[in-house]
């Protein structure tokens, strides 16, 4: 659905992280509000929870959202230290401030659900 590109991207509590999908790849490094928590599936804030000692998120794409096949840990199927994937430190507030990290690194995986929640589900 085309409208998904214009919907805001929110955390589990409905707080806006990104204005919309297109805003991530608008050329500003995927700027997001660092004061809005990013939650794990079980509701923990990845920025404060010690389960994620490195506050870095995997993504493996370039600034335009195109997958970089040489930098995403062999389709995220390897933990080989000799292979790299791209990841960004969340402290910069830019999800696309990517740098190469070896695939043995235990970093955060950011999942964005691409769906529309109706009033009945809220």
**Quick one: average pLDDT of 3-10?**
82
pTM check: above 0.85: no
pLDDT tens-digit series, residues 41-56: 999 999 999 999 999 9
Element (H, E) at 24: helix 21-24
Q: Which residues contact 50 (CB under 8 A, 6 or more apart)?
A: none
Candidates 26, 23, 3, 94; CA nearest to 57 is: 94
**Pair type for strands 16-18 and 9-10:** antiparallel
**Pair type for strands 99-102 and 84-89:** antiparallel
CB 90 within 8 A of CB 57: yes
């Amino acid at each position: 659905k085309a409208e998904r590109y214009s919907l805001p991207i929110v955390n589990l509590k409905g707080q806006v992280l990104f204005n919309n999908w297109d805003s991530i790849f608008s050329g500003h490094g995927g700027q997001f509000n660092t004061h809005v928590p990013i939650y794990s599936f079980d509701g923990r804030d990845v920025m404060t929870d010690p389960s994620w000692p490195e506050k870095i998120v995997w993504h493996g794409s370039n600034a335009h959202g195109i997958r970089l096949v040489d930098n995403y840990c062999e389709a995220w199927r390897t933990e080989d230290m000799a292979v790299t994937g791209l990841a960004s430190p969340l402290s910069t507030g830019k999800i696309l401030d990517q740098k190469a990290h070896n695939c043995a690194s235990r970093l955060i995986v950011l999942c964005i659900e691409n769906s529309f929640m109706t009033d009945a589900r809220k």
